[in-house]
Every structure is written in structure tokens, then in C-alpha cells.
Structure 1
């Protein structure tokens, strides 16, 4: 009998033994003649496969295993799979001509990644990698019977829409004839994901069952829980029972055991969590929130927003869409976005924090009137808006503000805040430099603040930390406002005719410049104060200062509407009855699970 030495580890199956040894590491590329498989969709909240369909041989073509290096397959067709470690990029797709696998010490061999079925995804956007169980019925029925005993693993990843900021969970399953090669890929990708320390593992979740269309609980259970389970994220869920439930509980809960706080609801729910988290942080560090000049401490925990409200303004400004699945995927992969927060005080007393709109006059009147008509549902905002527009009230007062001299950009520079924003990154560097100077006692305490003051009659006074975009106003109140530049845009709408004010409001629904009116002024500021005429009569110092330096600034604007003593402030959807307020921007005080609005999707079919 002639003895034949073995060629290496063998994998047996119904088709017999397959000679050949697996490559040492899965950074190598597996090649074979291939055509891309069919793309499938599992539904709005589920996962999608990443392969695309193309014409080619029938289902049984090229199914039989051949001698040589182990191969990877996309369903029934051979493919290449490559891991580019320096770029942290995973690529796959069809391959027409097999080539030998490269050695572990060399870069991956060139792969045919230019075809229409080729894909790539950053490792940072891979959600998880799971070993896939083989269905014995499929294997015995003939689907895989020509291949040696198959092994499989599935890669779940973020899949972008090419036409919007919408994300979905895509998945692609690779089949292999060698168990060792399959396990190597699984372990390597899992190790890379494990090294991504920015990803949350344990989250505190607040659900507001009463906000918006009362769908928050259903949205979370049906769309978000499966994704969190897939990513192995554990949660503690609290369903709020009354107003300020989330805010109050954040002062009592041990928040150190969490990697973030998630709110399921609308902008009101986010505001509750924001106030609770900031308040808890300042309490822990002994900071008095009632001091308007206090330097607030940045919050360590990130906030995630699962939109289920009526406006979802914050979601639109931070990820570009109010889609629950997209928001959940940003949370899962651990995105981080800094955001400014404005503090509002009255007579050395803290009132509220604001991150979106602080509006006096028109928007304050709309909110106050709508609160009396909650029985009407969401349509109350349209009714109150029309009523307030027809009333056409204006309010006399004085606005004093500190211009943001060190901030790059202006409210009309046509440079919107986007993912990786240069202006926000530069502001972050300035903030870090100021913190270092303050730490070592080098801060310039002698800097003179040059305030500007404007007196007049106003239909609206709006201050925005962000664009305030929403479905009805795609560009928002201030399209060029930045999320983290340490400033806000102060918009003054002087009294004018109803027709002109209507023209101004209509500008928010189209691409035209809403500041291109003689009665509209916009400034980028770090701080501002407002005092109504009624309040000025009680504060002689401010009145004397205005007369001495500015006189009557609005003399060229003739009266065309009735003037009332006071309006109310609309602070992120909450009413503030104190008309005299002091506002200060705190640069990058909080962080969200977001990355900003992406101009174009980064992940697409390679070409």
C-alpha cells in the first residue's frame, strides 16, 4: 500500500473532502468567479442585505467546490472579501478571476472592486458580526448539497439612503467551505468592533407615552429594541408618568453606571432630559445655576433622541431627519456631536435652558394661545398661528447684546452647519484653549465687553442656537446657525405691515433669504438681554443708558400695528412669563449621539 501524506486540514461534507489550507488571517482576500446576489428588504425597521442582483448563470452555476484555497460565497456565488486595516474598511463583491491569496505580511492583493455589485463599509459602521446557523432542510434539499459542509457568518452594518439622511440596518451573509476561515473572519471583525470604545453598552431610556401622536412606546418596542438587542446594548427603561418625571429622576439615579441617556419622544422630552442632566452635573460640581456669570461644567453622558414627537426640531438639526431607526443607529455606533446650550435668567434667578428657539412676540403669542386649546390636538398650532398673525401685535422694548467677535462666519454667509463643521471644530479648539488658560490662571480678565443696544417696536424677537429646521420649514429660522460655535443668531423683526410680515413667514418655507428685508435684522451674539418698555419704567438705569447713547433708533419705522405691554417667551416650546431676561451661550455644554447633517452619503456602491 502506498502511503500519501496529507496536504493539510480537510473539511468533509456530502461532496467529499476539499483539499487546501485556510489563509492565516482573514485580512487576506478570498477570490473566485462570481456574480452579485439579489438584494432583499426585510421592512422599515429591519435589516437589508447588501448584495445587488445582476444577470448571469442560473442558481446552480459554479456551486461545486473546487480544489485550491478556501472560497467565500455570497449565497450561491463566489466573491471577494477584503479588510483594509489602515483605512478600517471592509469591502466585498463579485470577482471574475481567482488569484492566489497574499501572505499575511503583504497588503491584500488587488480585487475587482470596481463592479456595480461591489460594496465597502467602514469598520466603525459595522453593527455586529454573527455566526449564521445552517438550515439542514436547505442543505439536504439541494440548495448547498454540491458544496462541502458550509459555514456562514453575517455582517450587520449601517446602510445609507442615497437621496436622504435616512439610515437602515443592512446585512450580508458570507458562506465558506472552511470552518477555520469562517471563525477567523468572525473573531477578527468582532475584535475590531470591541476596540471601538465610543460605543455605548448600557443606556438609560426615558419614554414619554403622551407626547406627539402617543406612539413613543410602540416605536421603541417595535423598531428600537430589536436593534439594541442586535448590538448587545442593555437598557433600563423608565416610562414617564407626569411632567418633569425624567428631570427629577436624573437627580436621584446613579448615572455613573450608564454610557448615555436616551429619550423617546419629542422636543419636550429632550428638554426634560437636558435640564435633568445639566442640573445634576452642576449639582455634583457645586455650581450655582442661579448665577448668570457661572461657568457651567460640561456633561459627560451623551444624550440620544428617538423622535416620536410633533416637531422633532433637534433631530432635524443634528442628523437631518426625524427617523427613529436612523437615530437608533447613530446611538449604536457611538456617534458624538457637541452642542451649545443657552441659559436664561431673570433677576439673578435661573429660568430655563434653551437649545433651539427662544422667541418673543409672534412665537411666544402662538404658544401661549395654543396652550388654551390643547383639546384640538396638533391642529391647535395652525389655528393659533393664524389668530396671532391676524392680531398683528408688536411689542416695544430694548435689546442689548454682545456680538460674537471671535466666531468665524455670519448668519448670512451661506455656510450651513454640517457633519465635521470647520467652524464648530475651530470653536472647540478655542474653548479648549480658554479652559487651559483658566486652569493655569492665565485667562484675560481685563477684556472689555462691547455691548450694543437697540430699542424699537418688534413683531418678533428670535434667538436660535440651531437652524430650527422642521418639515414645514426645511431650512429653519436661521439656516446658517451652528450647533457648537459658542454663539446664537439673534433675529429682530421690527413692526411692519401684515403683508410684509406674511412675506417674511413664507420665506421660511422656500429657498429664499428670509433676512433680505429692511425690517429684519440678524446678529451673531454670545449674550443678550431684553427688557420691555413696561419693565424699563421700573429700571431707570437701563432707560437712562438707552437715551444717552442711542436715542430713538426706530424713528424711521412708522407704526402700523397695535402695541401691547408684554408678550411671553417661547423657550423650546415652554412658556416663560418673565419678559425681562438675560441669555448666555455655553459653548458645547452637552453631547448627543449624532454626527451632524451629512452633505452626501459616504457609503455607496463603489464605482
Structure 2
């Protein structure tokens, strides 16, 4: 395409516009000013937020103008005050078919030169039984056509049992995929996480049961289409549990690194986690809720009420290694968002810290002994729709640290006040 074709006069619904394609922005200006406008209206779209561009007017049948002289840009639309994304389209009419075709080629080229690498083929797992049982409907009615529109090839598997997705990932040939997607809740995400981490370590010859082993990072990315009961991981990373928003993030190649925490017992790996590891109250709630799956998402409320009034505490000693020269604090007022400076610069710092920690002596560990209602470790805010700031609002997603929250033995009323603060206060720690 000639350079002059990157700026030319086109039409939108009969109105003349000046369309400009720059390095990272596609913009158009309405040349005809309205009486109530002092200036011409300009609309700008980041190139990395364009989903696709196609010849035609976006309809199966066109009338009047030949489709070959039109092209349609599908792009992300979002309001500054909301984290919810939607798909919008705008159709341009060119002077002739050659100009329209040239613009389509130029925009497509910029799309794949700008921003993150976009997925071309995805392995999708749907949990038809999790959450509210709406995962299949959500995927096929809201998400599938978005992937098709973006030209993403998908292989879809509906799980039929627990750990179906994990076991499939451990055995399948994953070479042709750019990522895996779970349509479900936090449980389905956990399956994919365990499957990918275990598969990667197995292929790399790394023993997971060695606590000090340097694990090999996974090359495949995990995408989440929220369809579960709490959708904590999705909410804490994207900021909202909206299926279309998550699908659009996946399509344009958005990525977010995350810390993974491993728990061990007697030299054996128990679980990986990216959100909350809870002993005491939250562990009891999860265990009790398993007996109430038949009632749906409300099972967590019912189990929580029962555990609150049981007021069960546990005697023990907690040992922890305090983060060394961390750039963040559980008590500051920062929020981890996409492009967070603390997380983006963490890789080199964590590598150096790991080398230094090999010489750490046992006396650098701190101990707390007592009776605890809850012992929680969270590697993220653990936000969800019911607690939109989460258990630890300032926790970072990828800074190599976790926040330790100890809730000591207290009265039922004090503990209720503590839990209530998760829904209405910025500082979740001090009862006050």
C-alpha cells in the first residue's frame, strides 16, 4: 500500500471522514462540523484493540453499495469509568474496491505488528456443571462467534469429570496451540494451572517435590472466560467477571504474569495456587461447601454462616520469611493493574533474591504462636464480586511475594466485623 493511502477521505454512513492509520492508532475525523460543535469530531482507536477488519459492511447481505468498496473495523469499546469491554464496529466506504482492499491489508499488517502476540489456535475447556451451570450457554451464545470473527481456530472439550482438563493436558499434544482457555470458575482454572505446570516440569525433567527446585515457566498462556461461582482469579486480574470482556482480552493478546504459590507436606507437593491458600475458616468453608454443591453458588454463604457461628480456632505456630526490600507493602494504598511497574521489574529482582536466599539461615524466619481462626496466604487481592477490594487490596500479581493474614482467636462478633470489612473498607486488616 502506498504511503498516501494511509490518509485519505472516506465515508461513514454518507458522512465524509479523514481516515488516518499511524503506527499504533487508527483515527478518523468527521470533516463536516455540526452546528452545535465548535470543532470537528475525531475518534481514535489503538491498533492493538482492533479485533479484526473485513471487506464488506458487516452484514451477510448488502444493498445499494457493492461490498467490495466497503470495509468494516471491529474494535474494543470501553468507557473510562468501567472495566467492562464490548465489541463495536464501524463501516467505511472507499472511492473504489482497490482502496478498500488496500486499507484492509494495511490495518491487518499493523494489528500483528503492534502489541502482544495474538493467539491463532486455542484449546477450550468448558465445565458444564460448575457455578450456575451456564458455562456451555455462555460460550456458544456469547464467546464462540467472537473467536470466529477474530479468525481464531478452537478445539472445544466439555469436561465430564473432576480433573478431566488436567489429565488431558498432561497427555495431549499441545504443540499446535497458542493457549488454553477455561470456561468455568476458579476450580477449572486450577485444573488447567496444575496440568500446565506439571506438564511443563515433566517435559523439562524438573522434580516438583523438591521445594527449592527452579520450576520451568509455562510457555502456553491460560485464558479465563468467567462462568463460575466466585470467579476470583478473573476478577482480580481483569477487574470484572464479564465473559465478553475476558474474551476480548484473549483475542487481542493481553497478558498478565502471575505468581504461583506451591504448598508442600512432608516433602510432597500438595497444590499450586495463584489466589488464596487458607487454613482455618476459609478451608473449613470450602470443605463444608462441597457437601452443598447441589444448591449452587449460595453454598458458600450457607457454609460461611455455619463456620462463623462455630467459631472454630486452631492452635499452632506459623513461620514465615519476611519479604526483603519489597517495593510494595500490604498496608500501602497502591493497586496492581496492567503494566504495574512493581511487577514488570520483578523478574530480575526475584532472580537475584533467589540466589541470595540460598544462603539464608533458619534464624531469619519469624515465628508467631497462638490460636488462630484463620491463616491466609494470598498472592493477589483475591477480589470477587462480593468483596471487590479483596482480602488484601494492595497485593501484587507478580512481585514474587504473598501477603500473610493471621486472624487470631476472637469472639464471633469481632470476627463478623472483620469479615464485613472485606465488603466496605479499604484497610481490611485492623478492626479498629
- Are 1:312 and 2:231 matched, yes or no? yes
The within-5 A match list for 1:466-481 is: 466-481=380-395
C-alpha distance in 1 between matches for 2:186 and 2:357: 37
Q: Secondary structure at the match of 1:268?
A: helix
1:318/1:115 Cα in 2 relative to 1: closer, same or farther (>3 Å)? Answer: farther
SS in 1 for 2:342: helix
Tell me what 2:84 maps to.
166
Cα distance in 1 between the residues matched to 2:382 and 2:395: 9
Shift in CA distance, 114/354, structure 1 to aligned 2, threshold 3 Å: farther
**Is 2:25 the counterpart of 1:89?**
yes
**Per-residue displacement from partner, 1:442-480 (whole Å, max 9, x unpaired)?**
x77434461001100111111101101111111100001
Are the equivalent residues in 2 in contact too, given 1:261–1:301 (CA < 8 A)? yes
Q: 1:275 aligns with which of 191, 194, 197?
A: 194
Instruction: After TM superposition, list the pairs within 5 Å mapping 1:238-249 onto structure 2.
Output: 238-249=157-168
Q: Residue 55 of structure 2 is aligned with which of 95, 114, 131?
A: 131
| Residue in 2 that maps onto 1:509 | 423
Normalising by structure 1, we get a TM-score of 0.67
Confirm or deny that 1:446 pairs with 2:359. Answer: yes
Q: 1:175 to 1:308 in 2, by over 3 A?
A: same
**If each structure's helix is expressed as a fraction of its own residues, which one has the higher value?**
2
* Larger deviation, residues 279-288 vs 181-190: 181-190
Structure 2 SS opposite 1:340: coil
Give ranges in structure 2 of 5+ residues lacking alignment. Answer: none
Shift, 1:415, TM fit:
0.9
Match of 1:233 in 2: 152
Counterpart secondary structure, 1:303: strand
Distance 1:403 1:130 in 2: 54
Does the 8 A contact of 2:139 with 2:183 survive in 1?
yes
State the number of aligned residues. 426
Pair 1:96–1:430, CA change in 2 (3 A): same
Q: Distance in 2 between matches of 1:266 and 1:513?
A: 27
More displaced stretch, 212-221 vs 125-134: 125-134
1:180 to 94, 98, 101: 98
- Cα pair 2:126 2:157 within 8 Å, conserved: yes
Within 2, Cα distance between the matches of 1:136 and 1:240?
Answer: 38
Question: In structure 1, what is the Cα distance between the partners aligned to 2:15 and 2:369?
Answer: 73
Report if the CA contact (8 A) 1:467-1:481 is conserved.
yes
The 5-angstrom pairing of residues 182-581 of structure 1 reads 182-196=100-114, 198-431=117-350, 445-448=358-361, 450-517=364-431
> Following the alignment from structure 1 to structure 2, what is the Cα–Cα distance between the partners of residues 164 and 349?
44
If the length of structure 2 is used for normalisation, what is the TM-score? Answer: 0.93
Task: For residue 429 of structure 1, report the CA deviation from its aligned partner.
Answer: 3.1
| SS of residue matched to 1:375 | helix
User: Shift of residue 231 of structure 1?
Assistant: 0.7
Deviation, structure 1 residue 124: 1.0
The answer as to whether partners of 1:150 and 1:175 remain within 8 angstroms in 2 is no
Distance 1:444 1:371, change over 3 A: closer
Cα deviation per residue 1:78-101 (whole Å; 9 max; x = unaligned)? 11111122xx1111131148xxxx
Partner Cα separation in structure 2 for residue 123 and residue 212 of structure 1: 35
Rounded Cα–Cα distance in structure 2 between residues aligned with 1:135 and 1:263: 31
Residues 278-299 of structure 1: per-residue CA shift (max 9 Å, x gap): 0000000111111112111100
Specify the alignment match of 1:7 in structure 2: none
Shift in CA distance, 155/136, structure 1 to aligned 2, threshold 3 Å: closer
User: Aligned to 2:6, what secondary structure does the other structure show?
Assistant: coil
Compared CA separation, residues 446 and 119, structure 1 to 2 (3 A): same
RMSD of aligned alpha carbons: 2.3
In 1: Cα distance, 2:77 partner to 2:423 partner: 30
Aligned-residue offset at 1:364: 1.4
Task: Give 1:186 shift.
Answer: 1.3
Structure 1 unaligned residues grouped into runs of 5+: 1-21, 31-70, 98-112, 519-607
Q: Distance in 2 between matches of 1:136 and 1:373?
A: 51
Kindly indicate whether structure 1 or structure 2 has the higher relative contact order, using CA contacts under 8 Å at least 6 residues apart: 1
Separation in 1, partners of 2:269, 2:62: 67
Deviations 1:11-52 (A, max 9, x none): xxxxxxxxxxx9753222x3xxxxxxxxxxxxxxxxxxxxxx
